[in-house]
Chains A and B, each alone.
Chain A
């Protein structure tokens, strides 16, 4: 069996299921490239999830109900049911989305494509820390990211920035142009309290989604860009019962919040009106050389090594620019390059990657999604909650703490106990690590006291912890 088979399955894919190596070994590179079309239909578990607009409509109605109750005169008779109801509904949505994500990742015959979905949703990271974000963050991944992972980056960029989850996460629904109709009126009425811009989304688009922090923009570009995207909001009534226009829970351009006039960003002036202005800026940012370099570096780091080879980054960056940001062309250049295939086990798995590859090795996902959430929380990578828009890190240096490894070992042991002593750990090792399994590991597993211990040793082995 070729070493490239192990690399394709375990580093580019999400980890081998028993039997996968036989298929991949025929032609590992072709196996990867064939996946770029994506599955002909959205995976079933994901298809069954409701749309984010439906979810937002429901949960915002519940939040309004709660606010009304708080305001009503007889609230000294506190009726906690609406709070409980909201919590139940919110948790239900969150868990359904976690379950769908991990079921899909475990069962997928398109694991390279699935990995790309996870990679890009981490690039456009949303942290589901505050309500109502936990109810729609998984949906963001499926609605804004999944359809575009093998298409043009510009399309994914616009879809991500206009998704209600992103707008809410980075506060853009509250950003109001000082010279917009609403801004002028509000500031005339109340002189003490200024209504105005919130730079959060604009800054993170430049810093984290496109150019990168050294990509050549200034504070003035950030402020101007924030003005450009004033009015990028969510339709319908909010939790305070205000702002009725637009379709509930979907992207809405609020003209009355928008700072009018032409604007200059990175030396180029934009005369477009309304939402077109922001989209024009995003399309230019998507094909900027700094963006090409930033994305090429992240891809090479993810698929090749923590210190990505400069030559490969240069090649991917050039391919990106030549193809106008066509991601499938970039992936093709990546897969056909020499660099990814030089070293097996070049990357230390993140907890997420470790958990998914374990599920795939057993071809089994826990029925109760809470088990997945708790496991990842314990290992330091709480699902859909990276804690900041920077997303999760991607190097061994950042994941390699002593405690992190110890938590993995504890979890390996727990999983091994659940799976039981009937497992045949040496055979399983061959099926999921192939020629990647060292003699030391093989011997250690073979000499284990029992099946449970053998499985623990396999899962905790350096080879299984790397990809």
Chain B
């Protein structure tokens, strides 16, 4: 009897051998795991890690200012300047173990305020919106021994986000509630798709993902995009499973939306606090699910841009510029906040309204790709992040 496993093997073998000259590059550390979490909607960096030590903070943030670490329900103290949002208790645990760090006043090179263009730049890795049609993380797969049938990266989503789209083959997975088609139907579909590369490749990838995901994970309910805390947590648990599988992917991308807090953003409680708590629970689930693999893992949590420093007319914040990024995992050299702090006085703000960017998301990504995944510098500067000479690679993010 032909099992689904056999079908995958046959389908993968020929295609995989033919396509990629994987031997051209130095062999990367095959044990390194990387998870990119994209918070869509522009998460408020001044709430993720609040600069309570900046004398202007309480004044400019008004009713959205978070209470100081001295208060019982206040910020979780990172250092004399910054405090982590109290909903991020799991991240704080890692911070205390020196396995998490915050990069503050960070932004992509994008300087307008459209979500869609902002996400485009964050994900395409170029210097502007629409300049590149594929994603930086896809381009970074070339030296990692990636090939059709042996995909190194997975989108934990029904639809692959831009950051993973491009020439290099990637896979995707999301839970389902429908019964599988019969083996013989799948086999016939593989024959039917043989002449059509678009369909043939995707079916092969999907079948491999089905192998790794257990039925139990597959039956979890889902929505088109992960919104509530439980869904994000379940997706993270599934991510851990994919990243732990013997011949599974080593890189995963997850998305969470609902960060566009134009109104009633809240402080230690409220809509943003709930979102952050959901994120925190998901990150903790990933850590627990990875077990000992956590020590080889880096998770980067980023968003397209930040929000206005001042509160708007509806107790929320509008689209801004610089924000905060979270880096965590056993491979992270953490326990610190990286920030060339620009200040919050009116004259310090970008266009008089936003946190001024002093760090570039591309610098962060370069540092991770180089020191964690072993991507050669020349590729980082040329093809993965073109026109990024101004965004110097961040050093020492990863534990030596």
Counting CB contacts under 8 A, is B113 at the interface? yes
CA distance A396 to B209 in the complex (A): 21
Assuming the contacts A174-B314, A199-B318, asked whether A409 and B160 have C-beta atoms less than 8 A apart, the reply is no
Counting CB contacts under 8 A, is B6 at the interface? no
Are B196's CB and A462's CB within 8 A?
yes
CA distance A238 to B203 in the complex (A): 50
Q: Digit string of B103-143 for contact with A (CB within 8 Å is 1, else 0)? A: 00000000011111100000000000110010000000000
Interface residue stretch chosen among A30-38, A65-73, A103-111, A373-381: A373-381
Chain B, Cβ-Cβ closest to A206: B114
- Point out the residues of chain A lying under 8 angstroms from B26, CB to CB: none
Shortest CB–CB separation between residue A103 and chain B, in angstroms?
22
Are B224's CB and A198's CB within 8 A?
no
Chain B, Cβ-Cβ closest to A414: B178
Are A195's CB and B157's CB within 8 A?
no
Are B263's CB and A385's CB within 8 A?
no
CA distance A382 to B158 in the complex (A): 12
User: In the complex, how many residues of chain A place their beta carbon closer than 8 angstroms to a beta carbon of chain B?
Assistant: 65
Counting CB contacts under 8 A, is B177 at the interface? yes
Chain A, Cβ-Cβ closest to B166: A397
Interface residue stretch chosen among B182-190, B376-384, B391-399: B182-190
Are B179's CB and A378's CB within 8 A?
no
Counting CB contacts under 8 A, is B54 at the interface? no
Counting CB contacts under 8 A, is B25 at the interface? no
Q: Which residues of chain A (381-428) have a CB below 8 Å from chain B?
A: 381-382, 385, 387-388, 390, 396-407, 409-414
Assuming the contacts A377-B224, A388-B115, A462-B196, asked whether A193 and B159 have C-beta atoms less than 8 A apart, the reply is no
Interface band, chain B: 35 or more
Are A413's CB and B157's CB within 8 A?
no
Count chain B CB atoms within 10 A of each CB in A197, A378, A456 and give the residue with the most: A378
Shortest CB–CB separation between residue A426 and chain B, in angstroms?
14
**Set B176, B199, B351: member contacting A462, Cβ < 8 A:** B199
Are B263's CB and A401's CB within 8 A?
no
Are A219's CB and B351's CB within 8 A?
yes
CA distance A214 to B188 in the complex (A): 47
Count chain A CB atoms within 10 A of each CB in B130, B159, B171, B206 and give the residue with the most: B159
CA distance A102 to B261 in the complex (A): 33
Are B192's CB and A407's CB within 8 A?
no
Q: Which residues of chain B (223-263) have a CB below 8 Å from chain A?
A: 223-225, 227, 257, 262-263
- Point out the residues of chain A lying under 8 angstroms from B155, CB to CB: 401, 403
CA distance A403 to B207 in the complex (A): 9
Q: Which residues of chain A (429-444) have a CB below 8 Å from chain B?
A: 440-441, 444
Assuming the contacts A203-B113, A377-B224, asked whether A403 and B203 have C-beta atoms less than 8 A apart, the reply is no
Counting CB contacts under 8 A, is A453 at the interface? yes
Q: Digit string of A163-201 for contact with B (CB within 8 Å is 1, else 0)? A: 000000001001110000001000000001111111110
Shortest CB–CB separation between residue A92 and chain B, in angstroms?
20
Chain B, Cβ-Cβ closest to A183: B313
Assuming the contacts A196-B312, A198-B263, A457-B189, asked whether A402 and B171 have C-beta atoms less than 8 A apart, the reply is yes
Assuming the contacts A377-B223, A448-B188, asked whether A403 and B158 have C-beta atoms less than 8 A apart, the reply is yes
Q: Which residues of chain B (142-182) have a CB below 8 Å from chain A?
A: 155, 157-160, 165, 171-174, 176-182
Q: Digit string of B55-89 for contact with A (CB within 8 Å is 1, else 0)? A: 00000001100000000000000000000000000
Q: Which 7 A-B pairs have the closest CB atoms?
A: A196-B313, A380-B158, A406-B206, A402-B205, A413-B181, A410-B178, A403-B172
B residues at A contact (CB < 8 Å): 40-41, 62-63, 112-117, 129-130, 133, 155, 157-160, 165, 171-174, 176-182, 184-186, 188-189, 191-193, 195-196, 198-199, 201-203, 205-207, 209-210, 222-225, 227, 257, 262-263, 310-316, 318-319, 351
Q: List 17 A-B contacts (CB under 8 A).
A: A198-B313, A213-B129, A219-B112, A219-B113, A374-B177, A385-B224, A398-B159, A399-B159, A401-B160, A404-B202, A405-B203, A407-B158, A407-B178, A409-B203, A412-B181, A413-B181, A456-B185
* Besides the known contacts A198-B316, A199-B318, A403-B172, 15 further A-B residue pairs in the complex with CB atoms under 8 A apart: A171-B263, A193-B63, A200-B262, A213-B116, A219-B351, A222-B113, A377-B224, A400-B202, A401-B157, A402-B160, A402-B203, A403-B209, A413-B179, A448-B188, A461-B192
